[in-house]
Amino acid sequence: MVHWANPAGLWALGALAVPLAIHLVRRPLRVVRVGHLPPPPGPSRRLAWWRWRDGWKLALRCGLLAALAAALAQPEWRPAEPAPVRWVLRVPGAVWSGPAETAWERERAAGASAHWLARGFPAVASAEPAGGDEWSAAWSLLRELDARVPAGSRAVVFGPTDAARFTGPRPTLARLHVTWWPTESVAVSPPAAPGPRPQVKVAVVAAADRSEDLRFVRAALLAAESSETAVDPDWVVQLGDLTLPPTLAARVEAGAGLIRDVGAAAAALPAERTFQPGESRLALRQRGAPPDGRVLLRDSAGEPILTETRRGAGRVLQWGLRFHPAWTEWPLRAEFPAWWEGVLRPGPTAAAALAASAAAPGFAPAAAAGKSIYPPIGAVPLAFGCWLAAALLFLAERAWSWRQAREAAR
């Protein structure tokens, strides 16, 4: 069935009134009586031929305007009752493990259609799209796919679950139920040969209400064998809402790193929410609003918990929590000093990953889908054919008028 993506374009059909009005109200030539003369046979036949030919010219002009109006309305051919689709989506550039390949082939054998998780959702049989921005746009692409497929569709996504690859809030889809199958992330480089550990200088500033947080942070810095100093530090740790001294602020602008906690504003979260700053998943009892910036780590609900921004030449790591046992069990675990060690002395470690259930978008079939700006999967656009028909009708009308003018000049 034909669907009009932009029905407002059909208002252009009102332009058909213009050639119709010109044709209907055009006055005949003035008759001058000169007496009784027998009508010559030649001119009478020519006038009859002209009247017949004007009708065809009117039809061509009306068809031209109708084709233009249809092109503006953007017609599409869609199946009358589209059936739900079953897809498997492959993230470009991902490194795959053996179990992921086995699961992929099993889904293909069950009849799922294979596509790349990239713009346009090309078939896997085509060339692999370039990686890069596509990797961090997984949720955005799945939202687009949800707007284009029929209700009841299902998809299995095969790709990495590194937290940095997911931007924005975790979406909830209404038509497409998505399952995420994690693949291997980029291989970790082998550790370098042991050598002398570089001395890292850290400056710590804390608000008056952060005395307990400060105790845990200093213990972690001590375990990381860093020296606390305010003179040319490599890192600055800011706990609570306070203003950095000008010397430390200038140091960050010049290239030092800054680590900040959530600040004063906070909102309690359910106790079952977790996050994974290291090898283990840890309880998250409270947290603040999701911080802005490039996401480095998300909690189990898919909301950012650690982001990175730039301040001059320095980088700012912004946490959405406090380093306090009332907020999270993290300061009481061995993962806490290990994280500080990895940040102060970065090594070739793998990025933190989301759980597969948190990487997949939520699903609420009763949610209002709204009007989509995307055509459904399987729709055939007809606008190009309308433009082509308009061009052909225009050329035919011009050729007819040119031939008519030549015959009149004879």
Residue 39: pLDDT band by 50, 70, 90 thresholds?
Answer: low
Residues 333 and 249 in one domain: yes
* 168 and 297 together in one domain: no
Judgement on whether residues 177 and 294 belong to the same structural domain of the protein:
no
Candidates 371, 388, 372, 375; CA nearest to 70 is 388
Q: What are the CA-CA distances from residue 65 to residues 55, 57, 113, 256, 406 (Å)?
A: 16, 13, 41, 66, 25
373 in a domain, yes or no?
no
On whether residue 191 sits in a domain, the answer given is: no
Residue 48: predicted pLDDT: 45
pLDDT tens digit string along 12-28? 777 777 776 766 666 55
Pairwise pLDDT comparison (248 vs 375), residue with the higher score: 248
pLDDT per position as a tens digit, 131-184: 544 455 788 888 888 888 888 899 999 988 877 667 667 888 988 999 999 886
Q: What's the rounded mean pLDDT across residues 382-405?
A: 81
Residue 52 falls within a domain, yes or no? yes
pLDDT digits (tens, 9 = 90+) for 204-232: 999 998 999 999 999 999 988 888 998 99
pLDDT score at 190: 47
Q: Does residue 305 share a domain with residue 222?
A: yes
Mean per-residue pLDDT of the chain = 78
Taking alpha carbons only, the member of 233, 328, 195 closest to residue 319 is 328
Q: Do 22 and 60 belong together in one domain?
A: yes
Q: Give the domain range for residue 220.
A: 201-349
DSSP string, 7-75: GGGGGGGGGGHHHHHHHHHPPPPPP------PPPHHHHHHHHHHHHHHHHHHHHHHHHHHHHHHHHT-E
229, 127: one domain: no
Q: Are residues 95 and 139 in the same domain?
A: yes
Q: Give pLDDT tens digits for 307-341.
A: 999 998 899 999 999 999 999 999 999 889 999 98
C-beta of residue 280 within 8 angstroms of C-beta of residue 270: no
- Percent of the chain clearing pLDDT 70 (strictly above): 73
* The pLDDT of residue 371 is above 90: no
Which one of 327, 349, 371 terminates a domain?
349
**323/211 same-domain check:** yes
Instruction: Looking at the structure, tell me whether residues 316 and 388 fall in a common domain.
Output: no
Q: What is the pLDDT of residue 77?
A: 66
Does residue 94 lie within any of the structural domains? yes
Identify the pLDDT of residue 126: 80
pLDDT at 122 over 70: yes
Rounded CA-CA distance 364/217 in Å is: 41
Pair (59, 114) in one structural domain: no
What was the pLDDT predicted at 191?
46
**What confidence category does residue 32 fall into, taking pLDDT thresholds of 50, 70 and 90?**
low
Residue 36, domain member (yes or no): no
What domain count does the chain have? 3
Q: Which pLDDT score is estimated for 186?
A: 43
Task: For residues 276 and 213, state if they share a domain.
Answer: yes
On whether residue 95 sits in a domain, the answer given is yes
What pTM, to 2 d.p., does this model score? 0.46
CATH number where 272 lies: 3.40.50.880
Query: pLDDT tens for residues 60-74?
Result: 778 878 888 888 877
Average confidence (pLDDT) over 72-78: 72
Kindly state whether residues 118 and 153 are assigned to the same domain: yes
Q: What is the pLDDT of residue 325?
A: 92
